[in-house]
Structure 1
């Protein structure tokens, strides 16, 4: 069994092992008796007649009916008790909105912070409000012993209370297409007080004022050097990288890599490669041709990120879902796409 990381884990494991060992004991008992009877009551010579020696034994029949019945009732009661506990989150639960889309998890925290990892604080009950934009997914955290399907058109909930700081794997446990095995991330459980600090610095770009952001976009290296020793901005700047590097992280974090390559190779069932998007001939499904000037191409990329179905390239299906992106995140992605054209 995986390590125990939540308040549910110990009880779930106890019920599992109880059912396992009771089942194993009854299997050995029944199989052993069957084997013994095969030996004791076998036909000892060819001419021996088969005669019935079956007789009625009320105490024995009551015993083998009542004892298993009591055990089954106990299993049901203990399992139902745990089930109801796992379906009833405390009133003080910390809510995180979860979006599942092929093939990436997205976690939105209070304040509009969106991240591809699930972060929480040890001892704090957390409730996940989950929805899917395409097919059925399933949020599964083995160390917490929790799993819940995420179905399109429905809101599903899952809650847990982490008991040990650390990093735990999170998987999609429902086959959702060719990238299913890649739809995984981690749960990071922080020590008390550390989660608030992480949340404050989770999106360094968002912490910049409009003036600071404009300065950063114009010359990232100079901006980082200017503010790296600033007492108020130092920690924020320490998490900043050049826009193209931030865009590469978003390319992976937002699931772009599942459908768009960056080396010109096609992705089966995906969309056009980002390689060459500024220079290649582009014809849309309605026959329009995309001009090759840089401004038009950048506007095309921005529009495609905001409204994926606005301009469908000929030869590709209109399957890209809408993904929540801020203007600054789009800037980072465009900077990354431009950096891979050379």
Structure 2
């Protein structure tokens, strides 16, 4: 028996493979029902007025309807309240879709290119959609993807999870999901990216978390982990001469506990030190100068590959 056979099918919508998928479908169902009710009220009312006030002779004058401020207020205010409720409801779901939990069980770097996906795990294992390799993730646990692209914009879309995120050249985006149970789920690219766009599909294979842990740790690494490679690069580029890893202050900010912290800059603005902030700070260090520190770091744009930057980021994330 395959894992996919455990998942019930539906003819109207894709399977609800995550808890958030249920919330998305509930909002969608409400929109359909509200639109249907609005349609019936509008078209039904218009039809009733056409019949009631139909002119039966040429000489007959049109009926005069007196002005009613209260009625005008109601037919404007009630839809406004409903629309604001829908907006808030959608905003809450969107926030859940875009904010991964703290206890992420797996973090995978996904790189898109015409017309394939590459996915690399934190222990250095790397797989390719061109080789028909599935993306292995734990069922019942949260998985975070960090996406980028080598060429054009691609879009990582999993219908069963009701989640989609663009993979953009020169930028890191993120997506997360938590499959409720084991199964296989199809991933589509939903941003037209060339002649073989429609064939740019992969499978996400969710397996029990215990089985995933055994698979992740038992298989031999194909290469050093991204964090290990980043540590080597950190030494090769003499980053330690300006950035400590033990919390002490030197020329530049320390790397200890940097990832996820709030940074305050010389111009008074603030930002969270996420993957995109680290990428920008590595390549274009002058973009955001941390408060009380000099603008002393050289620019590495054009000197480091996307893979080098990703490895450095993973190493910095590991310095707690």
* TM-score normalised per structure 1: 0.57
1:72 corresponding residue in structure 2: 83
Q: CA deviation at 1:204?
A: 8.7
1:63 corresponding residue in structure 2: 74
Query: Within 1, Cα distance between the matches of 2:209 and 2:144?
Result: 18
Q: CA deviation at 1:52?
A: 5.0
2:50 is the counterpart of 1:38: yes
Query: Within 2, Cα distance between the matches of 1:28 and 1:189?
Result: 44
1:107 corresponding residue in structure 2: 119
The verdict on how the C-alpha distance between 1:173 and 1:201 changes in structure 2, with shifts beyond 3 A counting, is farther
| 1:1-342 alignment runs, 5 A limit | 1-49=13-61, 51=62, 53-93=64-104, 94-116=106-128, 117-200=134-217
Query: Within 1, Cα distance between the matches of 2:143 and 2:74?
Result: 46
Q: CA deviation at 1:8?
A: 1.1
Q: CA deviation at 1:323?
A: 10
Does the CA-based 8 Å contact 2:111-2:118 persist in structure 1? yes
Does the CA-based 8 Å contact 1:7-1:160 persist in structure 2? no
Aligned partner of residue 37 in structure 2, secondary structure = helix
Query: Within 1, Cα distance between the matches of 2:53 and 2:168?
Result: 57
* TM-score normalised per structure 2: 0.61
RMSD: 2.4
Aligned partner of residue 176 in structure 2, secondary structure = strand
Aligned partner of residue 19 in structure 1, secondary structure = helix
Q: Which runs of 5+ in 1 are unaligned?
A: 207-321, 325-342
Aligned partner of residue 8 in structure 1, secondary structure = helix
Q: CA deviation at 1:77?
A: 0.9
Q: Which runs of 5+ in 2 are unaligned?
A: 1-12, 129-133, 224-305, 309-320
Q: CA deviation at 1:191?
A: 1.1
Query: Within 2, Cα distance between the matches of 1:46 and 1:52?
Result: 13
2:246 corresponding residue in structure 1: none
Number of matched pairs: 210
Does the CA-based 8 Å contact 2:140-2:179 persist in structure 1? yes
**Relative CO higher for 1 or 2, CA cutoff 8 Å, sep ≥ 6?**
2
Aligned partner of residue 193 in structure 1, secondary structure = helix
Whose radius of gyration is greater, 1 or 2? 1
User: Runs of 4 or more off by more than 4 Å in structure 1?
Assistant: 200-206
